[in-house]
Structure 1
């Protein structure tokens, strides 16, 4: 219960901090943080939570990460469902809090995007479904390679949260223009439910592609690290 509770609150923080920065601060007049600030915000949520709850739950905060770690032999199958449920609930709770905050401004319209992930006309850069799928698979695969490598018993101790947080920052710097960056089905679900319409209609990709990418990345790292 404590581990799943940690996953709930950790994922809550990721969505509130990352998506909150996109919704509330990215384009704020005069001092908007833009793509670079939103990318850093997502990285900081993972970095701070990895130090805060990594010793309690492992700080997955992401169904794709949990599934990838299972595929890589780092996580038991029996814990997958409780972790994924906690992550999704934490993301939805954060989406609800963000909605309450954002709707306090006149003219707010969640259906305009609400930091949701999308492709085609709903991609920030108008990228196709195929481009979005490739981007999400590749980015999530490398995220798992970073996670598994940084937490390997042979890696320098104590630095994993920094590597993982900066890795997620880099992933956002690359892929926000393509999909608004998911690499995390819970993060995508937490805001799509409030945006509704097209965001829910396109949500399937942001479950499927990150999970496929996570399994690929986990298998690649397992191969790289085998026999050492």
Structure 2
């Protein structure tokens, strides 16, 4: 966790989340207008922007840019509770800022890259829970100890985002992030099924923290029998 003053961390979270929405959902909007990126290009855009944010802003704030990740780190005992609400507020502010910028170039009637269930809300809820579980588990495993600021950690996390967006994007939008879904929904005025993208990611990170704790359990030490004389 960063020891920098809270104001610097909040600025980093605001800028980072704005960048995530600007380039991630911006890719969706550009593809709506040009069909130049395709589904794979959109997934790659999300993975790439996450990698850049981790490498550039990670040393300042941890580059959570996701309220679910912030909550997950707090529950895991790796983030102070007094910073949770300020981080979430900064992320929401950054997300709305990013979506507002995307709206400036979007065509009339655009969803601004908002996530919506492809079928039922319950199916999307299950998908978002599973996706966020894997994302948070990867984050917890690759940021432990000396690996916290490593290049490979950033690659692993961004690759997870890109892979999950590629595979599950057509099902639920592959949000894994309440602000990533809420910001375009708020700016565009479409809050249908918004609860899915809050409940699913939060449930996913809680399950991931539990799983990480189980994986960290050390095997019992077996006493060695003394050698016979």
TM-score (norm 2): 0.88
Residue 57 of structure 1 corresponds to: 61
- Could you say which residue in structure 1 is the equivalent of 2:129? 137
What per-residue deviation string (whole Å, max 9, x for no partner) do you get for residues 68-98 of structure 1? 1111111111110000000010000000011
How far off its partner does 1:22 sit? Answer: 0.6
Question: Please, which of 162, 170, 178 is the counterpart of residue 177 of structure 1?
Answer: 170
Name 2:109's counterpart in structure 1.
109
Contact 1:26 1:38 in 2 (8 A): no
Deviation of the 1:159 alpha carbon:
1.3
1:109 is displaced (CA, Å) by 1.1
- Of the three residues 193, 196, 204, the one matched with 2:195 is 204
Please tell me whether the aligned partners of residues 63 and 87 of structure 1 are also in contact (alpha carbons under 8 angstroms). Answer: yes
Using the alignment, how far apart are the partners of 2:82 and 2:143 within structure 1? 21
Q: Bigger CA drift: 76-85 or 214-223? A: 214-223
Distance 1:99 1:185 in 2: 19
RMSD after superposition:
1.6
- After TM superposition, the runs of 4+ consecutive aligned structure 1 residues lying more than 4 A away are none
Question: How many pairs are equivalent?
Answer: 212
CA contact (8 A) 1:149 1:221 kept: yes
Residue 221 (structure 1) shift: 1.2
2:215 matched to 1:215?
no
Distance 1:92 1:77 in 2: 24
Question: Which segments of 5 or more consecutive residues in structure 1 lack a partner in the other structure?
Answer: none
**Matching of residue 118 in structure 1 with residue 116 in structure 2:** yes
For the Cα contact (< 8 Å) 2:66–2:179, is it kept in 1? yes
Where 2:141 maps in the other structure, the secondary structure is helix
Structure 2 alignment gaps of length 5 or more: 1-6, 220-229
What TM-score does the superposition give when structure 1 sets the normalisation length? Answer: 0.88
Give me the whole-angstrom Cα distance separating, in 2, the residues matched to 1:220 and 1:3: 28
d(CA) in 2 for partners of 1:185, 1:56 = 22
Query: How many angstroms does 1:26 deviate by?
Result: 5.3
SS of residue paired to 1:200? coil
- 2:74 is aligned with 1:98: no
Q: Aligned to 2:112, what secondary structure does the other structure show?
A: coil
